[in-house]
């Protein structure tokens, strides 16, 4: 049925006045009357009782009133859905993550988003994973891939992506570290250890080492970024604690090995975070909607 005629009938069923409805739709009362007549012919039943003074809905008219209102509502919803699809998102989405996360976790997150919103420009900054949360809090980026801290700030929203295992790695090359590790009883207080400056791996090192009860650790160096840590271990500088995913994606992974039977290290939770106050922004909302649509929320990428 003609949507315009349905709209006029819906208005008339409320006003019960041909003159008011005709004025509201910028037509003459006679034009309105002809439109209502055509509806009655199509329905096959009288919709209104009318005389010179009053307009009253018939029983059929009351039922048709509900039908007309439902059809108009569906029509508006349909048009709005088209308008939303035709309104392409534009702008820049600034992301921060480690070099490893840019290989291991970011691509599947962006795949569907790029298909749905090809006009959005992706700005990627890589750096130390331990700095990711600070980048978000300082509003330097829109969101970041970060480890979930022991105490998440109330201003930050965190969406779980993966559980990351930590490994203790050593060089494969012949060096003094290899000789120390070949002893039946390891003297951990003498073995040089390379640590990240801060972050989840650094926090988990301390309780892991305390269980060995061998005095103070021999900290050879602290570095910014897990990728650099793997490189230093590969060069024979010492052993290190590092996320397994970093080792797996390292160009020098064949020059390091995982140490077995050295004690368990608690894994950490990896996720996407942004400011709570930013979640409703169109670009941020569209990004998280695309993650939920693909089910990237609780499994390893």
Domain-ending residue, one of 60, 86, 112: 86
Same domain, 281 and 243: no
Rg (CA), the chain: 33
H helices of the chain, where? 3-15, 18-24, 29-43, 59-86, 99-104, 106-116, 132-137, 176-181, 200-210, 226-234, 244-248, 282-294
pTM recorded for the entire structure: 0.64
Query: What is the rounded distance in angstroms from the CA atom of residue 301 to the CA atom of residue 297?
Result: 10
**Whole-number average pLDDT of the chain:** 88
The answer on 109 and 242 residing in a single domain is no
Once rounded to an integer, what is the mean pLDDT over residues 159-175? 94
pLDDT of residue 84: 56
How far apart are the C-alpha atoms of 10 and 166, rounded to whole Å? 66
Please indicate, yes or no, if residue 198 is contained in any of the structural domains.
Answer: yes
Domain that holds residue 248: 166-266
- Residue 183 maps to a domain: yes
- Tokens encoding 82: 């088209």
Same domain? For 11 and 75 the reply is yes
d(CA 186, CA 75): 75
Residue 83's contacts (CB-CB under 8 Å, 6 or more residues apart) are none
Cα(68)–Cα(58) distance, rounded to whole angstroms? 15
Same structural domain for residues 80 and 97?
Answer: no
Same domain, 134 and 276: yes
Contact residues for 263 (Cβ-Cβ < 8 A; gap 6+): 208, 211, 212
Range of weakest confidence among 73-82, 129-138, 202-211:
73-82
Query: What six digits make up the tokens of 221?
Result: 């160096």
Structure tokens at 209: 């080492």
Structural domains counted in the chain: 3
Cβ atoms of 121 and 92 within 8 Å: the answer is yes
Cβ–Cβ under 8 Å, residues 98 and 129:
yes
Q: How far apart are the first and last CA of the chain?
A: 51
Is residue 300 situated within a structural domain? no
Does some domain include residue 301? Answer: no
On the question of pLDDT at 83 being above 80, the answer is no
Which stretch of 152-161, 190-199, 251-260, 292-301 has the lowest confidence by average pLDDT? 292-301
Domain shared by 252 and 104, yes or no: no
With respect to residue 149, please indicate whether it lies within any of the assigned structural domains: yes
For residues 36 and 60, what is the distance between their CA atoms, to the nearest angstrom? 13
User: pLDDT class for 98, splitting at 50, 70, 90?
Assistant: very high
Residue among 103, 108, 105, 102 at smallest CA distance from 125? 102
| Residue 156, beta-bridge partner list | 275
Pair (174, 239) in one structural domain = yes
Q: For 23-47, how does the pLDDT look when each residue is reduced to its tens digit (9 = 90+)?
A: 888 899 899 889 989 999 999 999 9
Q: Are residues 157 and 179 in the same domain?
A: no
* CATH number of the domain to which 221 belongs: 3.40.190.10
- The string of pLDDT tens digits covering residues 271-299 is 999 999 999 899 999 999 888 755 454 43
At 297 the pLDDT is: 47
Residue 53 sits in the same domain as residue 191: no
pLDDT at 87: 65
Nearest to 35 by CA among 21, 52, 16: 21
| 23 and 70 inside one domain | yes
Whether residues 262 and 179 fall in one domain: yes
Instruction: Tell whether 299 is covered by a domain.
Output: no
Q: Which of 52, 86, 120 is the last residue of a domain?
A: 86
* 142 neighbors 283 (Cβ within 8 angstroms): yes
CATH code of the domain containing 33: 1.10.10.10
- Are 173 and 247 found together in one domain? yes
Residue 99 lies in a domain: yes
Domain end position, chosen among 58, 86, 114: 86
Asked whether the predicted pLDDT for residue 86 surpasses 80, the reply is no
Q: Is residue 218 part of a domain?
A: yes
What pLDDT was estimated at residue 95? 96
| Average pLDDT, integer, range 244-260 | 94
Q: Which residues contact 3 (CB under 8 A, 6 or more apart)?
A: 71, 72, 75
């Amino acid at each position: 049925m003609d949507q315009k005629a349905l709209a006029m009938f819906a208005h008339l069923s409320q006003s019960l006045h041909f003159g008011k409805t005709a004025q509201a739709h910028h037509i003459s009362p006679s034009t309105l009357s002809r439109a209502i007549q055509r509806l009655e012919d199509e329905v096959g039943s009288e919709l209104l009782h009318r005389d010179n003074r009053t307009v009253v809905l018939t029983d059929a008219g009351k039922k048709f009133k509900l039908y007309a209102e439902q059809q108009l509502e569906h029509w508006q919803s349909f048009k709005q859905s088209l308008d939303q699809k035709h309104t392409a998102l534009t702008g820049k989405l600034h992301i921060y993550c480690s070099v490893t996360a840019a290989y291991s976790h970011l691509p599947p997150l962006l795949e569907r988003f790029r298909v749905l919103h090809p006009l959005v420009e992706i700005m990627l900054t890589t750096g130390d994973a331990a700095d990711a949360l600070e980048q978000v809090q300082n509003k330097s980026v829109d969101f970041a891939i970060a480890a979930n801290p022991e105490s998440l700030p109330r201003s930050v929203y965190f969406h779980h992506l993966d559980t990351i295992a930590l490994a203790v790695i050593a060089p494969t090359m012949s060096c003094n570290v290899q000789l120390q590790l070949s002893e039946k009883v390891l003297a951990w207080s003498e073995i040089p250890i390379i640590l990240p400056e801060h972050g989840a791996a650094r926090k988990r090192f301390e309780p892991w080492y305390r269980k060995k009860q061998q005095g103070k650790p021999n900290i050879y160096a602290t570095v910014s970024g897990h990728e650099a840590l793997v490189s230093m271990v590969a060069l024979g500088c010492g052993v290190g604690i590092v996320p397994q995913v970093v080792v797996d994606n390292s160009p020098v992974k064949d020059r390091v090995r995982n140490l077995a039977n050295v004690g368990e290290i608690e894994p950490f939770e990896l996720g996407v975070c942004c400011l709570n106050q930013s979640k409703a922004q169109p670009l941020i909302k569209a990004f998280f909607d695309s993650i939920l649509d693909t089910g990237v929320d609780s499994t390893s990428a």
